Structure 1
Amino acid sequence: MASPDPTSPRSGPIAWMTHHTVAANLVMLIFLIGGLVIMTNVKQEVFPEFKVDQIRVSVPYPGASPEEVEQGIILSIEDVVRGLDGVKEVTAAASEGRAKVEIELLDGVNADNVLQDVVNEIDGIQSFPELAEEPIISLAEVRNQVVTVLVYGDQEEQTLRDVAERVRDDLLQRPGITLVELGLTRPREIAIEVPQRDLRAYGLTLNRIAREIGEAAIELPGGGVKTPGGEVLLRTQERRDFGREYADIPVASTPDGAIITVSDIATIRDGFEDVDQEAYFNGERAIQVKVFRVGMETPQSVSQSVRAYLEELRPELPDGIGFAMWNDRSEIYQDRMNLLLKNAFLGLALVLLLLGLFLDLKLAFWVTVGLPVSIIGSFLFIPFTGASINMISLFAFIITLGIIVDDAVVAGEIIYQKREQGLPLVQAAIAGAREIAGPIMFAVLTNIAAFLPLFFVPGALGNFLMQVPSVVVAVFVVSLIESLFVLPAHLAHTRELSGFWKRLDRPRQWFS
């Protein structure tokens, strides 16, 4: 049996699609409807989520100088973690009262396993100073902050903090907001000051008082007791969060049996620690309330919910306290989205105008339709790449707009040329698409090859930039299918212009 002739008007995928317009229309509808459905369910964020291969260690050391922090904590941590498998580099910073160590991991290692190794090694250090607190060890994470609310005013810091905590708690109760944190707040501090004369009078030392307070202000699990009704968990709860709660702690007794409490010998004050960073807005002290996007929440929905809440809160604010929205990243996101839509609209208008003016109105229409089909259809592949709608992927869509229009214009022009040479519509569409198939495929493959190296950029930067080739490749593939298989089918079955379309085409005929 003889094989089909590839030069035959009815052989090959291009000819088959050209003759079967239902199939071409079905492909176009799959791209449009499927892409729109997936587009509405794709995660929207300002910047893409990505993993940072880094472990962070923080060790509070109250009252220590940077030199003491380095000698007592940092050097010990560096010694035990540098030789661990999967560790690439260790950097540390010593500041007053705190040690910070960042451990960068090698590409491809299991971060959870390395984290456990780091925890085990640091827990085994016996040389930490006595006053050093428990190390805080965690994998670094990048969170999607949307907006910051500044609570400011010429008021006491505690008053500002109370309002900021109310704002935080209220926002967490609103639908569509999951994560809210306070920022640039000074940790609370309870100062207990004991005069030297009272220490001498009762034969006390600061260490003894600190020990008595520490033992009375802890929260300890007490195990469980099994009863006929089930197991009852026991807990000794003596946690104290405010200065007044420390007043009745006994620290000594007199020879006649009288109990001496903290309030008898000390001045107790609620205050805040001295830190290196503080927030001010318009010259007044401020506290940040940071609002983050989580899961499928969108930047716009989070920002709108925050704005609506602040309008409700405005009449209830105490005198002398105000608020302001700062660093609203949803506006940046919306600006990039508007830029994409503006460029797309201008591109479509120019293609429709110029092709309609120089070639043919219906040809211009179908070429123009191919552009949104390519962009929207690319969302069919987006879920498989892990990409989302964000600043980086929107930038990639903007890049592709100026490239994919060339494929459709060239294919449409060649088909128009074949028609001008006297070929019937169907044969002109097939011949034109076949003639341009090779150059278009090589052009698309060349463009894809130019972006492929971004898939192999290592580290956090590679995770960040991976959105660009993911989007570009998806758009180019859909554009190639549309230009070679869908567009010829539409151009092959256009009817002769009549009525309104014929009158509309007269200026084009005169111009040509």
Structure 2
Amino acid sequence: MGALIDRLIAASLRHRAVVVGATILLAAAGLWSFATLNTDAFPDLTPNQVLVMIEVPGLSPAEVEQQVTYPMEVAMLGLPRTTDVRSISKVGLSVVTVTFEDAVDLYFARAQVQQRMQDALHALPPNAEAMLGPPATAMGEAFQYLVERTDSAADTLSLIELTNVQEYIVKPLLKTVPGVAEVNTWGGMLQQFDVFADPSKLSGYGLTLQDLEAALANNNANFGAGYVEDRGERLTVRGIGRVTGVSDIANVVVATRGATPVYVRDVARVDVGPQPRFGAVTRDGRGEAVSAAVIILKGSNGREVVKRVQARLAEIESVLPAGVRIRPFYSQGEVVRRTTQTMFTNLTEGALLVIAILFLFLRNIRASLLTASVIPLSLLLAFLAMKRFGFTANLMSLGALDFGLIVDASVVMVENFVRRLAGAGSQSISERQDVLRAAAFEVGRPIVFGIAIIVAVYIPIFALQGLEGRMFRPMAFTVCAAVLGSLLLALTYVPALASYVFARSGGSAMEHDDPAWFSKLRTRYQRALEWSLLHRRRVVGATVGLFAVALISVPFLGTEFMP
């Protein structure tokens, strides 16, 4: 291992221009990765699952469970690489959730569930409508907005009209945005045509409700009737029978009595009304409203999708009817922006603090700047690895970065350079480079072992499964990628660049001489060290005692999954 490390360092010093050029190329790739990296506020903790939703109007929860949920759930059993199948039954709705292993491709899982769903349809009631849920997660609600009246139209537009604008104008256009999986509408009233039959009039004409229902069903369709040829042209014959409004429904013929037709309007009243609903949305204490949530595809870049949604909404504003406007009230992009801004502000402040401490203890401007340059380069290498392996930038993955760990290897390397050069005095360029080579060989192996120990601490985290794994693996991966990147830089980039930076003797003596405060600090440390060596039993006993107290206090600590 030691010989391999020495060969790597020697090759870096021998081909230092190549090493510096390769570092610049890696930094450029890291910048590209950072610019295109998926950014979220928090990691997606939802399992890899597919939803099967079945609508069966009119059935109670118990009937839904017996007639719909049970056969569909049984059909999903035995799918490859599934972890569990569970369900929930509500009034007129069944939701079966099939959870797969995290490594299973989502669209492969959806294909398997789709096939089983089709096989189970014959066991469901005739009016059951089954569909797969969108390829999204519970964390996918990226944007929410209101479709509301303007102040000038506050008393003229109804909830039904606002819902029609959302369902037939806004929603279809938003679903064409790349990265959008679904647009869910909340509140409002879906329009339907209501036929209120008059039992006495039906009885007077000798009709029943079944006759009225059959007449409406049979007179609401278009049909083709072939074609006719006229003077060398083929004309298609079509029968137009679909109803388009209240008057068409009212003019449907239910039956004939003698030579007189009986219309729907003769036995019933036709009107426009809302469908039965199970909830409502209110806003600002001013009554009901229509709202919607944009659901993004699993794995999409939430920040970029939100930008595209906002741009599309700006286009939609121009085609909205008079008196209607769209007012956003939640944007995941804004949450991500604030989170990432806070995160990078803290990282910048931490980097500046590390640089200040480096200069304070290394007492050499060139050495401090060389060591500090490892911080952004290590982060760029980490971003490159995150892009390659599909990790997102979020509070968990980036918040755990420790700049002390990142510069640890470079600090040891550069400090040894400064110490050896200070003791060598004035020398030629080739002699100073020989000193740098010897100094790098001296600490190369301890640096590798130290970083290996740090990485070994995070290895058990990669073995976590389920929710814990989804939460902590990105953090462990990012830290390991940054630390291993700093190790590579410490063994290649730092010696190569140091051969340029420290090639010529220079700088004031103050860069090498210890200041008075540092000498006092070192003297006190030497005294403490000597006392510890003379009283080894006391020091070891106190350490063991503190460890025992820490173990005893563990049962009294509060525990929770997240703060």
Which range, TM-score by smaller chain? 0.7 to 0.9
Deviation at 1:74, TM superposition (A): 2.5
Is 2:295 the partner of 1:288?
A: no
Aligned to 2:329: 326
Aligned residue number for residue 445 of structure 2: 438
Larger Rg: 2
Judged with a 3 Å threshold, the aligned counterparts in structure 2 of structure 1 residues 103 and 216 are, in CA distance, closer, same or farther, namely farther
Give the 5 Å matches for 1:60-71: 60-71=55-66
Task: Identify the range of structure 1 (411-420 vs 135-144) with the bigger mean alpha-carbon deviation.
Answer: 135-144
Per-residue CA deviations over 1:338-397 (Å, capped at 9, x if unaligned) read: 2332233223322332222332110000111111011113333334312344555444xx
Q: Percent identity?
A: 21
**2:486 alignment counterpart:** 479
- Return the alpha-carbon distance in structure 2 between the equivalents of residues 57 and 12 of structure 1: 59
Q: Residues 308-359 of structure 1, C-alpha deviation per residue, up to 9 Å, x if partnerless?
A: 9569959x8866x665422211122112322332233223322332222332
- The match for 1:274 is 276
Task: Point out the more displaced range, 54-63 or 236-245.
Answer: 236-245
Q: Distance in 2 between matches of 1:224 and 1:79?
A: 50
* Corresponding position of 2:523: none
- Which residue among 469, 492, 502 is the counterpart of 2:499? 492
What SS does the aligned partner of 2:277 have? coil
Of 411, 414, 418, 2:413 maps to 411
Question: 2:179 touches 2:300 (CA, 8 Å); kept in 1?
Answer: no
Using the alignment, how far apart are the partners of 2:270 and 2:330 within structure 1? 39
Matched, 1:208 2:215: no
**TM-fit CA distance, 1:216:** 3.2
Q: Which amino acid aligns with 2:12?
A: M
Aligned to 1:99: 94
Task: Please state whether the residue corresponding to 2:357 is helix, strand or coil.
Answer: helix
Alignment of 1:451-462 (within 5 A): 451-458=458-465, 462=469
Q: Does 1:77 align with 2:84?
A: no
Distance in 1 between residues matched to 2:296 and 2:195, nearest whole Å: 41
* Distance of 2:439 and 2:209 partners within structure 1: 93
| Equivalent position to 2:116, from 106, 114, 118 | 118
Residue number among 303, 310, 322 corresponding to 1:306 in the alignment: 310
Q: Distance between the aligned counterparts of 1:312 and 1:139, measured in 2?
A: 23
Q: Secondary structure at the match of 1:124?
A: helix
Contact (CA 8 Å) 1:385, 1:470: kept in 2 or not?
no
Contact 2:54 2:94 in 1 (8 A): yes
Once residues 466 and 96 of structure 2 are traced to their aligned partners in structure 1, the CA distance between those partners, rounded to angstroms, is 19
Shift of 1:480: 1.1
Letter in 1 for 2:205: Y
- Give 1:29 deviation, angstroms: 0.7
Q: Which moved more, 1:210-219 or 1:40-49?
A: 40-49
Partner amino acid, structure 2, of 1:15? A
In the aligned structure 2, how far is the partner of 1:476 from the partner of 1:303? 34
Indicate the larger mover: 273-282 or 74-83.
74-83
Greater displacement, 408-417 / 190-199: 408-417
**Structure 1: distance between partners of 2:206 and 2:347:** 82
Contact 1:407 1:483 in 2 (8 A): yes
> In the aligned structure 2, how far is the partner of 1:278 from the partner of 1:237?
37
> Unaligned regions of 5+ residues in structure 1, if any?
none
Calculate the aligned-residue CA RMSD, in Å. 4.5
TM-score, normalised by the number of residues in structure 1: 0.79
Check if 1:146 corresponds to 2:142: yes
Q: 1:134 aligns with which of 126, 129, 137?
A: 129
**Deviation of the 1:207 alpha carbon:** 3.0
For residues 236 and 439 of structure 2, the distance between their equivalents in structure 1, rounded to whole angstroms, comes to 81
Give distance in 2, aligned partners of 1:46 and 1:310.
25
- Seen in structure 2, the aligned counterparts of structure 1 residues 245 and 435 have a Cα distance that, compared at 3 Å, is farther
The separation in 1 between residues aligned to 2:325 and 2:172, in whole angstroms, is: 16
State how far apart, in whole Å, the 2-side matches of 1:312 and 1:123 are: 38
Indicate if the aligned counterparts of 2:75 and 2:117 stay in contact, CA closer than 8 A.
no
Structure 1 Cα separation of the partners of residues 59 and 489 of structure 2:
68
- Equivalent residue number for residue 374 of structure 2: 370
Change in Cα spacing, 1:298 to 1:329, as seen in structure 2 (3 Å) is closer
Contact between 1:400 and 1:475, CA under 8 Å: does it hold in 2?
Answer: no
Question: Which of the residues 7, 11, 23 maps onto 1:12?
Answer: 7
Corresponding position: 1:341 with 2:344 = yes
SS in 2 for 1:135: strand
Instruction: In structure 2, give the amino acid aligned to 1:488.
Output: P
Work out whether residues 44 and 296 of structure 1, in 8 Å CA contact, stay in contact via their aligned partners in 2: no
> Relative to structure 2, which stretch is displaced further, 75-84 or 471-480?
75-84
The alignment partner of 2:501 has SS state of coil
CA distance in 2, matches of 1:357, 1:193: 87
Give CA-to-partner distance per residue, 1:77-113, whole Å, 9 cap, x none.
Answer: 3444446665543333222222222233466665245
Question: Aligned partners of 2:310, 2:423: CA distance in 1, in Å?
Answer: 63
Return the TM-score normalized by structure 2: 0.72
Partner secondary structure for residue 327 of structure 1: strand
Q: Which moved more, 1:285-294 or 1:47-56?
A: 47-56
Cα distance between partner residues in 1 of 2:31 and 2:74: 55
1:94 to 1:48, Cα distance in 2 relative to 1, 3 A: same
**Cα distance, 1:196 vs structure 2:** 1.4
1: distance between equivalents of 2:385 and 2:204?
79
Structure 2: give runs of 5+ residues left out of the alignment.
426-430, 519-563
The verdict on how the C-alpha distance between 1:384 and 1:412 changes in structure 2, with shifts beyond 3 A counting, is same
Q: 2:50 aligns with which of 38, 51, 55?
A: 55
Question: Does residue 355 of structure 2 align to residue 357 of structure 1?
Answer: no
Amino acid at match of 1:325: P
Q: Counterpart of 1:381?
A: 385
Match of residue 24, structure 2, among 29, 35, 52: 29
C-alpha change, 1:189 and 1:327, in structure 2 (3 Å) is same
Counterparts of 1:187 and 1:407, CA distance in 2:
65
| 2:163 aligned residue (161, 164, 177) | 161
* Structure 1 Cα separation of the partners of residues 103 and 224 of structure 2: 40
- The whole-number CA distance in structure 1 between the counterparts of 2:226 and 2:110 is 30
Are 1:182 and 1:287, in contact at CA under 8 Å, matched by a contact in 2?
A: no
